[in-house]
Structures are given as C-alpha cells and as structure tokens.
A and B are shown apart, each in its own frame.
Chain A
C-alpha cells in the first residue's frame, strides 16, 4: 500500500532536531520482513533507526532507506536462573524495566546492567552506540553485557554472532553505529540486585579539584555523575553537585510509568532555552540543596537515572532550530583535568551556557567494541541551543581542546566533528572499516570518512 513517493516525503529528525532530512522509511513488523529488506538489492543505502534518541546524525541516512525498527518489539525468552534475556532489536530499555525488572518480594530482582540517561532507547540502539551509564567505573559499557547478536547482512546471511563465534564481527558490531548489518535480535545478560531502589546522595562542591576528590572517594558507590554550573567563572569554575547512588538491599522500587506524565505538546516558535533562562536555571540548580552541603535519600531509581524522561519530548523546548550536544572523553591525569578546565573556561566565556553539563569519570574496564566511545578518563557532556555560526564556532573550539588532549567525541551525540578528529580519536577506524556492510551507510559515516566518497561500496 505504501506508495514510494509518499514514503519519500517522510522527514526524520534526530533528537537534537538540527537537521530533518527526508528518507524512504521502511517499517518491518517481523524479523522475516526485516531480513527481506536487507536481502533486497536496492541501490539506496540502508540504516536502522530506533527511538530517535541519538542527538546528531548517526541514525540518519539522507536520500537512503531507513529501517524503522520499533515494530520489532517482542521478547523472545528470559531465563530466570541465569538472567539471560533475548529480545528483538526494537525492544526499549523501558520495556525491559517494565516487563522483566520488577521487584521480587524481598525487594531485589533482575536489573539492567548498564543504562544511559534515558530509558527510551532500543536494545539494538544501545548496542550500536555501546552506551554507558553512571556505573561505568564498575560495569563498563552496555556492550560488555551482550552475549549474542542476531545480525542480517546484505550478502543474505543471518547469523547469531557471539564473542566466541565471530570475534571480529562482534567487536565491530558493538559500538558499530549500525554499519555492520541489521541487528534483528540480541541476548543480554541482566544482573541480580539486592534492591531495585537506590540510596542516593547529592553533595555540593566548589571547584574541579573538589569534584575529582569526590569521584576518587566514591569507590563504594556504584553510580556517580556530577552536574556542573557551566556559567560559573573565576574561582567558582567547575562548581556543581555530585550525585552518587547504590542499590539499597531489601528496598523495592516499581518501574516508572511507560508514558511520561508530562509532555511538551508542541515545538514553541523560538527556543525557550536562552541566556536568561539558562542563568536562572543554573543559579537555581546550584541552590537545590538549600543551605545543606549534602542530602541523602532512598527511593525510586527514576529521578537518579532518568530525570529527563519525566517530561515527554523535552527536546522541543529548544525550538525549531534544535540544539547541539557535545560529549567528549579525555584521559585521566593532569592533562585531562586541564583540558576539562579549559573547556569550562571557553564555555563560560562564550556566554552560551548549557542547561545540563554533566561530568563523570570513566573506569578502565575495556569495551569489546572497536569504535566504542568510553575509555579511561573524564567525560563532559553539554547541550547548546542552536544559534548558528557562533554555536558551531564554540563546538569547534571544544573539539580542538578534546583532540589536543588525546581525547575523543561521542558519535551518538555528535553533529559536527571533522573526519580528521574522528580518525585521531578512534585509532581502530581502519580495522572497523573492513566490517562495514556495503549496503549500509549513514550521514555520520559519510561525514567522518568511515565511508568514502563514491565508494558506495
């Protein structure tokens, strides 16, 4: 029934909303239909698309085919003894929490080993971007907990790949940005927790040194991250609130509602995130603990893991021009710390504050993925309303500081890094390129030179 010309009119935006290119969108409802799409030898390049939570262009494929995977949302099997969960590619982490990670009478239960800052991502998206969470120092990336991936390739093959059966293809597919084929289903290892509720502590700190002292002193806390007041200058540079949390044994927390209770109903004509509202927000957030230096609470994991999920479509607040995200990682040690301090100075100077500046240290657990983003060091994440050239200039400066410090930028959030910065940040690029499925492509892959000009290859 789908007329190809109608399908071409489909605009697809990513979460940042800066670009809305047109795609031929295909909507398989079963794995058999998805396999048929991959086996179909069209000249148009393919790419999988999930919940659209990637900020930049890793999940966009302008002038190509986009395989909307959210129709493949079935669980396949769950082994309540081992915690191995097999599900279709389009199952969301929210669905796993809702259906499987339910507290048992003793308050404990199965839980996601690793979760990013939103539950509304698909399992295959979490694999393709090898997402991380606030427990990276203890659990590494999502990819470490993937036992098997069912992958369809354009040569007609459909295989279940594991680290043992296909070590190279598996390593390329974890964090492989959807370029090694179409993930149809996956098996992930859930973990056992003694309590689904969290004991969470917020601590105010005055500068970057204080942040690092807290990060170093929080070994006993499984989840850590800090909010930074990125408008603060001078001696207050790097002040913020450090959040740490751990499972509270015997305490249960029910999964959050699948549909947000509040939502931004439409995109306002202008961005509501601007100079004044940013100053007000940052000033207020800085004072959220009141006069107290620290606050300890026990309860639901939702406000700790997913504060933004409570408001549906919050990205609309940035107006029709959208916003850019920037996330980098720089190595640990003095050089990395100096680079973070330099970035905060650059941002404060530019006057283009970010609503959510998040600072976290990564541990040294290696990811199985060739192109996986996390590596030992410090990661800083920010978002900036799109104000055109001045925002792009700021992002270019942040990119330069990152690369100079031997760091790298997170593809899932990036919209503008150069091919040269990508090549320097990801030394496994050439190894990875051998595993790209010739029928697959993305706007990101073309921009950073993963797929060469004219090599449709």
Chain B
C-alpha cells in the first residue's frame, strides 16, 4: 500500500532530505516534523545539519540523523542513496533539493563554471534519483520528489545554462515517472518560481511573484499527499509558464527576461 496523509499524521513517515539545508528543504522538513516524522539529513556541512536536526526534534520529529556528503561528488551518489535508505530501514519520501543559482554572464565566459552548474543542477539530482529508484521500486511505495524550477520550461537569455540543467531534470523525471508508474512509486517534480532563500539572497526581492519557503513547503506537503506528478508553486506559476511557453518565438525574442 502507498503512504497517504493518514500515515503522515501517525508519524510513520521516513524522510530523506538531500541538500537538507536548502531553504525549501528546511521549510518542508519543518512541516513534516510536526507529524512526528523521522529524518535523515544529507548535506555538505555538518554544523548546520546538526542545528537543523535539533530544530526538527523540538518541532516534533521522532528522529533526525545527519549524513555529511558532498552531492557534487557524482561517483559517491549511489553510496549516499543507499546509506540514506538503510539509515531508517527504508524511506517513504526522498526530497532532492540541492542546487545552485549561478550567474549566467559568468557561465558564458567560464566553461568550468558552466560544467559545474550543469553537474550540480542536473546530473547530480538525476543520478541520485536514479540510484533511489530501484530501492523505492522494490518497496512498491513512496515518493521521490525533486526540486526543479520554472526556469526549466523555456530557454531564456538571462539563465539558459541553469534553465537547461533544470529542463534536463524535468525531462529525466518525466521518464523516471513513466518507469515507476507500474510500481506505484510517486515521482514529484516540484517547480518553484521565485522563493526567498539563501540561494536568492543576492537578488532584489519582494513583490507579488516572490514566495516564502513556508508557502512552497505547504504546497509540497499537499502534493505528496495527493500524489501529484508536477507541482508549480505557488500555483500562479502554472498560468505564467503556460503563457511563456506558448509565446510565439518572434514575440518571445523581443522580450528581455
């Protein structure tokens, strides 16, 4: 049987967060902590992970284990995935939330930086999901949730390297979902718009298009509960992106965004 919201409330959820210190992962973990979930937190730096673990326990988590790993190390990803799976004796939800928001103009000049941006925003999360897939498939239940971005839906001059990485991820998840459909494993593609987190701290924020991580987290909890395939969060991005992707090229090319 698959896990529904009733199980979340009963505190039976076993959750792995990859890139656990990202703003969206933290907010989502806090929402699940209130239901008494158990966590394994995977990230690069021990100190903030330990702080998050303590925070989640005060908020009601039954357990929060820390696993330090560099998700940019592609060769280690299968081990990282297996370790997280085993730590809690299986998983009900894996949230893959790591990534960077690189400076496009820099990437146009710097091939090494461009490759790294593609690795961390596409190859790493895709390979991680791929390593988790057979584990979930064997259990015939659970959710693999991955944070992509609305930026992945159409290539734009202002961030096409990042957008291409996220676009690749979107296509990868589409295929993974097709593969796992028979086993009842949910593959959730989370596409946020502008979210106020450390990743976007250098941008000018505020205004109606910016959302808080808490709001995005609430949407993610509901999308997991409802076993959705694709989540635009907040909801209005579904409309915005429908328009952006439908714009005829001659018109699109006259825009600057």
Contacts and interface: CB of A to CB of B under 8 A. Distances in A.
B46 interface: no
B55 A258 contact: no
28 contacts: A1-B202, A2-B201, A2-B202, A6-B204, A29-B48, A30-B51, A32-B47, A71-B198, A74-B51, A74-B54, A75-B55, A75-B58, A76-B51, A76-B54, A76-B55, A77-B58, A78-B58, A85-B58, A87-B58, A99-B33, A99-B34, A99-B58, A99-B60, A100-B58, A100-B59, A258-B214, A259-B214, A259-B215
A259 B59 CA distance: 18
B52 interface: yes
Contacts of B52: 74
Contacts of B48: 29-30
Interface of A: 1-2, 6, 27, 29-30, 32, 71, 74-78, 85, 87, 99-100, 258-259
Interface string B5-44: 0000000000000000000000000100110000000000
Interface string B191-204: 00000001001101
A368 B55 CA distance: 29
A51 B156 CA distance: 36
A76 B58 contact: yes
Nearest to B45: A30
Range, interface on chain B: 10 to 19
Nearest to B203: A1
A213 B147 CA distance: 61
Nearest to A1: B202
Contact of B47 (A2, A30, A71): A30
Contacts of A32: 47
A259 B27 CA distance: 14
Contacts of A75: 54-55, 58-59
A255 to B, nearest CB: 10
B103 to A, nearest CB: 8
Contacts of B33: 99
B59 A99 contact: yes
Contacts of B58: 75-78, 85, 87, 99-100
A77 B54 contact: yes
A247 B202 CA distance: 46
B198 A29 contact: yes
Given A30-B47, A75-B58, A77-B58, 20 more contacts: A1-B201, A1-B202, A2-B201, A6-B204, A27-B201, A29-B48, A30-B51, A74-B54, A75-B54, A75-B59, A76-B54, A76-B55, A78-B58, A85-B58, A99-B33, A99-B58, A99-B59, A100-B59, A259-B214, A259-B215
